[in-house]
Structure 1
Amino acid sequence: MTHLGVDIIRALPKVLLHDHLDGGLRPETVCELADAVGHKLPAAGPAALADWFAAAADSHSLVRYLETFTHTVAVMQTAGALERVAREAVLDLAADGVVHAELRWAPEQHLVRGLTMAQAVEAVQTGIDDGVARAAAEGRSIRAGQLLTAMRQADHWTEVADLAIALAGDGVLGFDLAGPEEGFPPGRHDQVWRHLAAHQVPVTIHAGEASGVGSVAEALSIGQALRIGHGVRIADDITYSAHGGTDGPATLGPVAHWVRDQQIPLEVCPVSNTQTGAAESVATHPITRLKELDFAVTLNTDNRLMSRTSLTHEMMLLNTEAGWTLDDLLDVTVAAAWSAFVHHDERRTMVEQVIVPGFQKIERAQL
């Protein structure tokens, strides 16, 4: 197995489908925005704050992990703050080689200082557009859009869905459902899914991370999800022969069969999954076996600030700890491109004119 090196991996074109806007702020930005609104942070200075976020995420305490978002969301309550965070997210992703990004966030959590949901979405789109333009001026091409998230434990699903429908094609790429899986199933507001489907708005749902296979099944059957956020617990629906371990012959249960047969994309986030307990390590993460079994696996960051990660970092870990090759990285990148919430011809262009040629260029340089 060849270690590819950080410069090689950073130069690869990448596609990011699962990245939370409120989980990817620059520590410097959190400090400056907090100072502007008088929000007290748990650590002084960008370096110390970055360490605090990372330590909280690594603590294996859900309470501490969720506490991190109280600080990022608190400083994202004005149009100017939302524009800045979105602009910087796009620039940071472009610098990491990302050519297509879908940034998800919950507008309902950003209304404390008087914004409406529509105004908040408009501010984020302004920031995204500015980031795309600035990246282009720096010689980096990136396409980015929003996924509007409704929180499972709140009752704003219909309102967020209506906003996604109204702004579909105007920067909004789709609808997402996030929050605690246990006790808040998609069926709480089952009319929302029919409403979104009737207006051809694609849906991704967080499932199979904190809860098991049943959560994935509900996301598909009730939520009509076209992609599954995380989805790593689908591995619970796969059994192996007693002698071969997870490297041996696999027997798929009904949900795992359906997910694989229909090639439903799994938005897998290895580093984050190890922090939340959905996986023990990157080396033993289910993503590798799921990919070997021909599931539609995509690679994602989840929360870049909390997990102190990037797509380059995720790829590096899979290369060095799980033995992934350049071909493996190409496979998940192509899968992500074909799973993007854009039109088919746009996906084809991304794959044939950006992703494959970009990987081939890096491969030729290594010969």
Structure 2
Amino acid sequence: MTLIGAALTTAESVALPKVLLHDHLDGGLRPSTVIELADASGWTLPSTDVDELQAWFTRGADTDDILQYLATFEHTCAVMQHADHLERVAAEAVADLAADGCVYAEVRFAPELHQAQGLALDEVVEAVTAGFRRGEAEAAAGGSSIVVNAILCAMRTEGRSVEIAHLVDRMRAWDDKVVAFDLAGAETGFPPSLHAEALAFARRTQQNITIHASEPPDLTLISEAIEYGAHRIGHGVRLQADIEFSPDGSIDTATGLGPLARHVLDRQVHLEMAPTCHVHIGAVESIATHPIAAMLRAGFNVGVNTDNRLMSGVMPSSEFATVANAHDLTADELRQLNVNAIRSAFCPIEQRRSIAATL
């Protein structure tokens, strides 16, 4: 089935049932909410105009520099230090994703970044998952069905990863919204091996693990993420360095794969691709040169994600439309991206199967 030469419209993309596995809570606030919460918190923003603030965040993200990209989070994290603020942001994230056609999402955040006003780690997580539940209930009342779960991130530049791995283990015992452990933040110079103890505990306690790997040293970060137990790779776009692309941009899997790419393909390790973010941080030159379509067609387990909706100025529907139109994806290929994602989700298999049947 093809798109018959026509561009995928925004309305068509919104109507497409979508699965989102890589979305940061502190990177997805509504600009209007940032302004309101900043006023309530006494925090000074670069602008209090909604459009100007959105433009400021997007300019900060579109720098080809992940450290400058990450610096924009100072303002969002600053307004997410109270339980009611966290719950509001979480509920609004669910509402926005449901309105955009998402049926399942895993939204991640680093609890350690929300303790400036004295919240305990458990209280941070409780506020966020309460917001997810409220958002789901409000979406259901409006006729939309969505499930949103939480991935807890440890900041790889800090020394609290063992504490966060124990937090995941403790919280999931009574809150089924907590589904996985992640390493996030600046990557170059902060490899997974620095957090070997936390990752060993996560593996020993059968936690779901995803690890960011989007920056140099390219293949080394991806390889080490797998070595330390990642079930999924956050981004993974730089795996293209281990792939030889044909002149037409396709991949001959018989001759064009290095050992790491072959391993990722054969083991069907899911790659949580976020194309617009990859352009913004300089991992690829453009959406048109992004390897996601070639990798999908070669059988890699890839999905489409937003990473940070506020900073990149995107929604799941806009990402799907942008990728589809840049690479002439067929309707079957669009569905496969979502099937890949739900099959790789960290919710119970019964739920994965049920959601997959609706895609």
Fold similarity call, TM over 0.5 = yes
User: Which of 245-254 and 182-191 deviates more?
Assistant: 245-254
Find 2:268's aligned residue among 257, 263, 266. Answer: 263
The answer to whether the aligner puts 1:275 opposite 2:248 as a matched pair is no
Q: CA deviation at 1:210?
A: 4.4
Measured against aligned partners, the alpha-carbon deviations of 1:284-326 in whole angstroms (never above 9, x if no partner) come to 1011111121100011000000011011000111122221121
Match of 1:186 in 2: 192
AA of the residue aligned to 1:221? E
Query: In structure 1, what is the equivalent of residue 167 of structure 2?
Result: 163
Find the residue that maps to 2:311 and give its secondary structure. coil
SS in 1 for 2:72: helix
Q: Identity across aligned pairs (percent)? A: 46
| TM-fit CA distance, 1:272 | 0.6
Partner of 2:326: 321
Residue 145 of structure 2: aligned partner: 141
Decide which of 278, 302, 307 is 2:307's aligned counterpart: 302
Distance 1:150 1:248, change over 3 A: closer
Q: Deviations over 1:169-218 (max 9, x none)?
A: 61101011111222111111312222112222100000134440111000
Residue 358 of structure 1 corresponds to: none
* Partner amino acid, structure 1, of 2:40: A
Give 1:128's aligned residue.
132
CA contact (8 A) 1:209 1:273 kept: no
Partner amino acid for 2:25? Answer: L
TM-score by length of 2: 0.95
Match of 1:41 in 2: 45
Give the whole-Å Cα distance in 1 for the aligned partners of 2:97 and 2:217.
30
> Could you tell me which amino acid in structure 2 is paired with residue 334 of structure 1?
V
Work out the CA distance in 1 between the residues paired with 2:202 and 2:20.
23
User: Match for residue 200 of structure 1?
Assistant: 206
Which residue is 2:183 aligned to? 177
SS in structure 1 at match of 2:132: helix
Q: Which amino acid aligns with 1:283?
A: A
Which deviates more, 285-294 or 264-273?
A: 285-294
Query: What TM-score, normalized by structure 1, do the two folds share?
Result: 0.93
Secondary structure of the 1:220 match is helix
**How big is the shift at 1:245?**
5.5
Kindly indicate whether structure 1 or structure 2 has the higher relative contact order, using CA contacts under 8 Å at least 6 residues apart: 2
Q: How does 1:40-119 map to 2 (within 5 A)?
A: 40-119=44-123
Going from structure 1 to structure 2, the CA distance change for 1:155 and 1:100 (only over 3 Å counts) comes to same
2:187 aligned partner, one-letter code: E
Instruction: Give the count of matched residue pairs.
Output: 351
Q: Is the 8 A contact 2:27 2:311 kept in 1?
A: yes
